[in-house]
Structure 1
Amino acid sequence: MFVSYKWLSEYVDLGGMPAKELAEKITRSGIEVESVEHLGEGIKNVVVGHVLEREQHPNADKLNKCLVDVGEEEPVQIICGAPNVDKGQKVVVAKVGAVLPGNFKIKKAKLRGEASHGMICSLQELGIESKLVAKEFAEGIFVFPTDVTPGEDALQQLNLDDEVLELGLTPNRSDCLSMLGVAYEVAAILSTNVKLPTTEVSEVSEKAEDHIQIRIDAKEDNPMYIARVVKNVKIAPSPLWLQTRLMAAGIRPHNNVVDITNYILLEYGQPLHAFDYDRLGSKEIVVRRANEGEKIVTLDDAERTLSAEHLVITNGQEPVAIAGVMGGANSEVQADTTMVLIESAYFDGQRVRQASKDHGLRSEASARFEKGVDPNRVQAAADRAAQLMVELAGGEVLSGRVVAGEMAAEPKVVSITMEKLNRVLGTELQVSEVEDIFRRLQFEVKTDNGEFIVTVPTRRGDITIPEDLVEEVARMYGYDHLPTTLPTGESKPGRLTDYQLTRRVVRRYLEGAGLNQAITYSLTSEKKATQYALETREPVALAMPMSEERAFLRLSLVPQLLEVLAYNNARQIDSLALYEAGSVFLKEAEGELPSEEEHVAGAITGLWEEHAWQGEKKAVDFFVAKGVLEGLFARLGLEKRIAYKKAEMAGMHPGRTAAIELDGQFIGFVGQVHPQQAKDLDIKETYVFELKLSLLSGAKKEAVAYEPIPRFPSITRDIALVVDRQIEAGSLQAVIQEAGGELLKGVRVFDLYEGEHMEPGKKSVAFTLTYSDPAKTLTDEEVVKVHNGVLEALKEKAGAELRS
């Protein structure tokens, strides 16, 4: 809701309070003011000008040479390219030295050899949005519709010296979707009164009921419908004050009759509609549900197909408006309209929302009906519109109102005790203070033995229970005045669970290692649901899937990560490193909900490192992915309990895939996506991993122990072992570590040979062994003794021989 400060001051004495200060008070009382905009901010030296002469520019077909009176001793010459500029017009002139929005400064200039001392402005050049400019001025300069004096401040005439408060209303505060509603709110905040507009309708003897009859067939959707008839109206532009108020509120001016209905919508919060009586086609208004498939052409010239869920206004035969949403083009007020039928009605908000949603028509009127309008303003709004049509359109109001239906719009009575108010708010308010708050809100209140019996006006439909009264007292008393207290009783400081902490450590480590987090769908196709699964289970099917591609719950995160890689590779993003920590779903017994288990998975493709200046590139390989996991296990304190074993999995490279075990228990895998699978997905060589996060979290971590830096030198021995080709290097390493005892501090593979100098079925694996003793310098004899034991164990357990 956009609220004009100057317009608001007509209803409430603001005492000259700055708009920003008022905005602060409104925000503190519970309605957020999102912004305060000074409409003419940054504009200087812009005045009213009178075009005395206009002639064609001698050297340009599309330019005009104008002599303009700007209130100075001599008129000035201004070159203007607007097609609608003409002699006798009162226009907006930015004089030499003026500043326009965007810090655009006006200087003396020569245009095709002719001097120009200023600029004749359009409204857009003054910072007004194009969608708010009347259509007649949308493509040219603005011309004042009323008599103004040359040299006057044009910003004042255009109301651009005003400030607009934008209220961020919650759905329950529909009362503030009107200027009067905001006025009541501000008056309560400032402890002052509201000055309501006076409505005095002068009627002619001719009766409205002789011209129109109303019948409501859908009484639940439309409890009450009021019509007034105004004849002999003269369609013309609205006076400038009315146009500028509409523009400040975000509504484009059209003509005096339509603008009056929009003005009442803003003032009273009651949507109105004006029909051209002569185009209505009958003397009857019938409100009913639309027939299935019935059509109407609305004011935006779009043909719309209606359903039985939509409420329409008809002339007894065909629809002339979608109730509460938009009128029909067949009864639109036009330039030749002379007789107007004013509609003021109460429509059911749910019915209006249904039509608004179905047709994609979100209007100022529908927004108010959806949230609820004050039933006691329906008649007052119609009378106010009729009065303004007399004043601004020269019309004559026919005697009486034509009313169909009725509403029991009785104010609600809500009670609350003084004890409950103070108990809930933690205050020590007195009865007189609470009574004063209710009176400021203009709620009628009676006090009986500490109980407040409050009569809530119908404009405040949001107040229905005692707790609503608590809120009203709290916000008017001031939230910042409510006492603050600390919780009582025992409390424990919050902390992350072990599982939450592990998950956080995993995410932070992987991001630090260079992987970006991905969040993918939990739903997938039947084919992909079981791919790369760590446990073989039947996938869980959805009862009502959106599509076949999203019909099952996933058992693995890897297929979705591969989809992400394929999507990016198709857009020439070739190097990617992604991870996801998310849930997979494991089917339990028939009829039971699946169990949810959290996994962490990664997918890496393309270049892992690239140094363009040095000309270095390192492509992703198995050991990059394995190294990322080794760093993760080290971060979790589990590196000594992890083992990698050769594995074969569907969709994975048979020679570059390893199962990962923690204390002998399978927890995941790492490896290369099978080349055929990569080709099917149209991705390059890719490496993936997936782990059970719950098992990582549940594993007991060894306490961190300090190890001093060795003071004594270590001794290394390199050995090359000849073994059968099927023997894995990992099993050899395990034998070495077991036989080496306490003196063996490190074992590392540094070479593998399977060339022509090796006998068939054999291979050579080379290790570096590091021996040291933290308490002394080892002698060769001590190392030889342990080293020989290692060689003997290798021969006995693995049949390994030293390569000669």
Structure 2
Amino acid sequence: MFVSYKWLQDYVDLSGVTPTELAEKITKSGIEVEGVEVLNEGISGVVVGYVMEREQHPNADKLSKCLVDIGAEAPVQIICGAKNVAQGQKVAVATVGAILPGDFKIKKAKLRGEESNGMICSLQELGIEGKLAPKEYAEGIFVFPADTEVGSDAMAQLNRDDQVLKLSLTPNRSDALSMLGVAYEVAAILGREVKLPEAKVTEATEKASNYISISVDAKEENPLYVGKVIKNVKIAPAPLWMQTRLMAAGIRPHNNVVDITNYILLEYGQPLHAFDYDRLGSKEILIRLAHEGEVVETLDDVKRTLSSDELVITNGQIPVALAGVMGGANSEVSLDTTTVLLESAYFKGGSIRKTSKTHGLRSEASARFEKGVDPNRVRAAAERAAYLMELYAGGEVLEGSVVADSLEIQPAVVSTTLEKINNVIGMNLDIETVEAIFARLKFDVETDNEVFKVTVPSRRGDITIEEDLIEEVARLYGYDNIPSTLPIGEATPGRLTDYQLKRRIARNYLESTGLYQAVTYSLTSEDKVSQYALDKREPIRLAMPMSEERSLLRLSIVPQLLEVVKYNAARQHDSTGVYETGAVFLAESGQELPQEQEHLAVALTGLWHSHLWQGEKKPVDFYVLKGILEGLFAKLGLQEKVEYRKASIEGMHPGRTAEVLLEGKSIGFVGQIHPQVQKEKDLKDTYVSEINLREALQAATEPLKYQSIPRYPSITRDIALVVDKAVSSFELKSVIQIAGGALLKEVQVFDLYEGDRLEAGTKSIAFSLKYFDPERTLTDEDVTKTHQQVLNALEQKTGAVLRG
């Protein structure tokens, strides 16, 4: 909302308050003022001149030589390039030494051999946007009315000696979408009175009801419609002061009748529409919902096809306007209009918003209807507009108004107590102070034993509950006047829960390994929802999905991370490492809401290390990703409780996939994507993992134990075992660890051989075993005895034999 400081003075005494000070006071009271624009900033030396003579430039076809009276001792010669310059005009003249926008200085000059002492200006050259200039002056110079004083300040005549406050309004403050609404707000802030505009009409003897009848079929969408008839109007430009006020507010002037309706829109916040009565084609106005497929041509010369839920104004048969949005071309006020039917109505905001959005027609009028207009200003705005048409268009206002009224509206009555007000805002206000604030707001209040019963005027539709009243008291009292206080009660320091702390440790560790955190959609598609799910359940479908690609809640994070890897690979980022911690959603039998489980997923592809100057490249493989997981479990103190077992999972490589077990319970998997999946997604070798992070973070950990540095040497024995190819190294390692007892401290695989020197269907796996006793030096006999137990257990339980 653009608020002219000079215009606002018509309604509120602003003496002693500068525009900047006023902007600060308004902002502190709860409505943000984005800035204050000085309309004539940087402009000087522009006066009103009278073109005494105009003749063709002797040396240029497109230039005119003008003799202009600028109120000085003698007229000056000015060369002008405007097509519309003519003798007898009063124009804006930038004199020699004047400064125009952009720090453009006017100097004496010679144009094609003729002296020019100044510049005749267009509105654009004076800082007014071309889209706001009247159409007849959109190209060329501006012409002042004939009674304008020669030599006077042209910027003052154009009301540019003004400052405009730019209000940033929240949707609830639609009352401030009018000059009167802002006036009430400013009057409350300054503790001054509001002066309402003049609207006393001299009515003719003829009755408006003899010219028009009004009926409403769609009473819910249009509960109140007021029509007035003004005869014998003379279409002409509006007064200059009105045009300039409209331009300062961002509205282009057209003619006196249309400009008056726009002026009232800004003044009262009530949109109006003027119909050419003689072009209506009937003496009836019927407001109804459109017929499906009905067509109306609006003022912008666009034919619009309507739907059955859109409100239209008709002449009883055909639409003549889109209600609250735009008038129809078939009833537009034109230069030959003599009788005007003036519409002032209360339309429900939802209906107007839908129509406006459907047709892409958002206007000053529709914006106000959408947010809500004051129903008690509908009649007053019509009277004020009729008064101005009588005054500035020479119209005769017919007696009375024609009204269709089914509106039932009662002012909101809201109560609060002094105790509640003081408790909420942390003050100790007395009854008199609170009553004074309500009086400044022009709210009627009844006080009974510290209970305030407030009747809210209809212009303040945002006041509906007790808290709204408390906010009004706080902001008018002044937020700056509310003292700072410490909260009362026992304060406890904030801390992370154990779960949150472990999750933070996990994220920090994963990022320290070089992985980037990804955040992907929790919604997925039908074909991806069950892929790589740790817990296969019926997926949960959204009731109203925006698209099929985002229609189901995910059961796994891996499919989303594969899309991240694919996206990066398509943009030549061949080496990618990402992780995500997030929720998957599992349906619960008999439960309306799903169970949310936090999972961790990782995806790696490309090179893990690349030191080209050392000739070293390390591509990602199974053991890189497995090592990252082992490091994570070590950080969480779970390394002794986690095992890996060969697994077969759909969509994963059959020989490079392992199940992750925590204390014997499966919590996830790690491995390579199946080659066929990689080919379909156009990926190189890609390794992924997903684990149930909640299970890992909630697992109990042993207290931290310290061991003394070994004082005695250890003994290492290597064994190479020949076993069936179906036997895994995990099974062999488990048997070795159990059989080795307390002396066996470490078991590591260091070789695997499969070749023609072994029998078909067998393989050779070599282990390194480290024996150690912290209390003494082991003898060969001790180690041999334990080592033999290991070999015997291997032969009995797995059929393994020492390789010869």
TM-score under structure 2 length normalisation? 0.84
Q: Secondary structure at the match of 2:432?
A: helix
| Cα offsets for 1:278-333 (capped at 9, x unmatched) | 22112222222333332212223333333443322111111111222221121112
CA distance in 2, matches of 1:652, 1:267: 71
Gap change, CA 1:772 and 1:323, over 3 Å in 2 = same
Displacement of 1:406 in angstroms is 6.2
The equivalent residue for 2:329 is 329
Q: Secondary structure at the match of 2:640?
A: helix
CA distance in 1, matches of 2:209, 2:794: 111
Please list, as runs of the form range in 1=range in 2, the aligned pairs for 1:104-253 lying within 5 A after superposition.
Answer: 131-138=131-138, 140-141=139-140, 143-146=142-145, 156-253=156-253
CA distance in 2, matches of 1:145, 1:613: 80
Counterpart contact for 1:79–1:114, Cα < 8 Å: no
CA distance in 2, matches of 1:261, 1:782: 106
The equivalent residue for 1:36 is 35
CA distance in 2, matches of 1:186, 1:782: 95
Counterpart contact for 1:740–1:786, Cα < 8 Å: no
Look up the equivalent residue of 1:90 and give its one-letter code: V
CA distance in 2, matches of 1:306, 1:466: 42
The equivalent residue for 2:720 is 721
Counterpart contact for 1:19–1:36, Cα < 8 Å: no
| Cα offsets for 1:178-217 (capped at 9, x unmatched) | 1111111111111111122222334444443333232333
The equivalent residue for 1:430 is 430
Gap change, CA 1:496 and 1:405, over 3 Å in 2 = same
1:283 counterpart = 2:283: yes
| Cα offsets for 1:390-437 (capped at 9, x unmatched) | 343343433433333365666455554445544554433223222221
The equivalent residue for 2:318 is 318
Return 677-686 or 483-492, whichever deviates more. Answer: 483-492
Counterpart contact for 1:530–1:536, Cα < 8 Å: yes
Identity of aligned residues (%): 60
Structure 1 unaligned residues grouped into runs of 5+: none
CA distance in 1, matches of 2:346, 2:21: 36
Counterpart contact for 2:77–2:115, Cα < 8 Å: no
Displacement of 1:659 in angstroms is 1.2
CA distance in 1, matches of 2:113, 2:258: 45
Look up the equivalent residue of 1:602 and give its one-letter code: V
CA distance in 1, matches of 2:77, 2:713: 98
Counterpart contact for 1:296–1:319, Cα < 8 Å: yes
Displacement of 1:698 in angstroms is 0.9
CA distance in 1, matches of 2:134, 2:786: 95
1:621 counterpart = 2:593: no
CA distance in 2, matches of 1:109, 1:553: 75
Look up the equivalent residue of 1:330 and give its one-letter code: N
Return 192-201 or 418-427, whichever deviates more. Answer: 418-427
Counterpart contact for 1:723–1:798, Cα < 8 Å: no
CA distance in 2, matches of 1:108, 1:761: 106
The equivalent residue for 1:531 is 531
CA distance in 1, matches of 2:508, 2:63: 68
1:12 counterpart = 2:12: yes
CA RMSD of aligned residues (A): 4.3
| Cα offsets for 1:645-703 (capped at 9, x unmatched) | 22111100112212111222211111111111122233333221111011012112344
Please list, as runs of the form range in 1=range in 2, the aligned pairs for 1:407-426 lying within 5 A after superposition.
Answer: 407=407, 411-426=411-426
The equivalent residue for 1:694 is 694
Displacement of 1:78 in angstroms is 6.8
1:378 counterpart = 2:414: no
Q: Secondary structure at the match of 2:528?
A: helix
CA distance in 2, matches of 1:122, 1:241: 17
CA distance in 2, matches of 1:416, 1:385: 39
CA distance in 2, matches of 1:144, 1:509: 75
Displacement of 1:232 in angstroms is 3.6
Gap change, CA 1:531 and 1:282, over 3 Å in 2 = same
Counterpart contact for 2:265–2:365, Cα < 8 Å: yes
1:654 counterpart = 2:638: no
Counterpart contact for 1:719–1:802, Cα < 8 Å: no
CA distance in 1, matches of 2:743, 2:55: 106
Gap change, CA 1:364 and 1:654, over 3 Å in 2 = same
Q: Secondary structure at the match of 2:648?
A: coil
Q: Secondary structure at the match of 1:197?
A: coil
Counterpart contact for 2:67–2:76, Cα < 8 Å: yes
Displacement of 1:27 in angstroms is 2.7
Return 398-407 or 278-287, whichever deviates more. Answer: 398-407
Look up the equivalent residue of 2:338 and give its one-letter code: T
CA distance in 1, matches of 2:616, 2:127: 55
CA distance in 1, matches of 2:113, 2:773: 98
Look up the equivalent residue of 2:331 and give its one-letter code: S
Q: Secondary structure at the match of 2:657?
A: strand
Displacement of 1:256 in angstroms is 2.8
| Cα offsets for 1:578-621 (capped at 9, x unmatched) | 33323223334367654332212122334445568888765433
Q: Secondary structure at the match of 2:403?
A: strand
Gap change, CA 1:322 and 1:745, over 3 Å in 2 = same
Return 91-100 or 458-467, whichever deviates more. Answer: 91-100
Counterpart contact for 2:106–2:118, Cα < 8 Å: yes
Q: Secondary structure at the match of 2:533?
A: coil
Displacement of 1:374 in angstroms is 2.0
Please list, as runs of the form range in 1=range in 2, the aligned pairs for 1:707-718 lying within 5 A after superposition.
Answer: none
The equivalent residue for 1:472 is 472
Displacement of 1:273 in angstroms is 0.5
Gap change, CA 1:419 and 1:695, over 3 Å in 2 = closer
Counterpart contact for 1:48–1:149, Cα < 8 Å: no
Gap change, CA 1:68 and 1:504, over 3 Å in 2 = farther
Return 205-214 or 671-680, whichever deviates more. Answer: 205-214
Q: Secondary structure at the match of 1:528?
A: coil
CA distance in 2, matches of 1:715, 1:68: 114
Counterpart contact for 1:92–1:122, Cα < 8 Å: no
Displacement of 1:747 in angstroms is 6.0
Displacement of 1:480 in angstroms is 3.5
Counterpart contact for 1:325–1:365, Cα < 8 Å: yes
CA distance in 1, matches of 2:705, 2:591: 49
Please list, as runs of the form range in 1=range in 2, the aligned pairs for 1:571-582 lying within 5 A after superposition.
Answer: 573-582=573-582
CA distance in 1, matches of 2:445, 2:262: 35
Gap change, CA 1:159 and 1:626, over 3 Å in 2 = farther
Displacement of 1:271 in angstroms is 0.9
Counterpart contact for 1:745–1:770, Cα < 8 Å: yes
Structure 2 unaligned residues grouped into runs of 5+: none
Gap change, CA 1:437 and 1:586, over 3 Å in 2 = closer
CA distance in 1, matches of 2:599, 2:703: 25
Gap change, CA 1:726 and 1:795, over 3 Å in 2 = farther
Look up the equivalent residue of 1:501 and give its one-letter code: L
Aligned residues: 793
Look up the equivalent residue of 2:91 and give its one-letter code: K
The equivalent residue for 1:345 is 345
Please list, as runs of the form range in 1=range in 2, the aligned pairs for 1:47-58 lying within 5 A after superposition.
Answer: 47-48=46-47
1:90 counterpart = 2:62: no
Look up the equivalent residue of 1:693 and give its one-letter code: L
Gap change, CA 1:707 and 1:237, over 3 Å in 2 = farther
Counterpart contact for 1:217–1:287, Cα < 8 Å: yes
Counterpart contact for 2:235–2:257, Cα < 8 Å: yes
Return 597-606 or 178-187, whichever deviates more. Answer: 597-606
CA distance in 2, matches of 1:250, 1:519: 44
Displacement of 1:229 in angstroms is 2.4
CA distance in 1, matches of 2:383, 2:182: 21
Look up the equivalent residue of 2:586 and give its one-letter code: L
The equivalent residue for 2:400 is 400
CA distance in 2, matches of 1:116, 1:784: 118
Return 291-300 or 750-759, whichever deviates more. Answer: 750-759
Gap change, CA 1:67 and 1:593, over 3 Å in 2 = same
Return 456-465 or 758-767, whichever deviates more. Answer: 758-767
CA distance in 1, matches of 2:514, 2:504: 16
Counterpart contact for 1:712–1:772, Cα < 8 Å: no
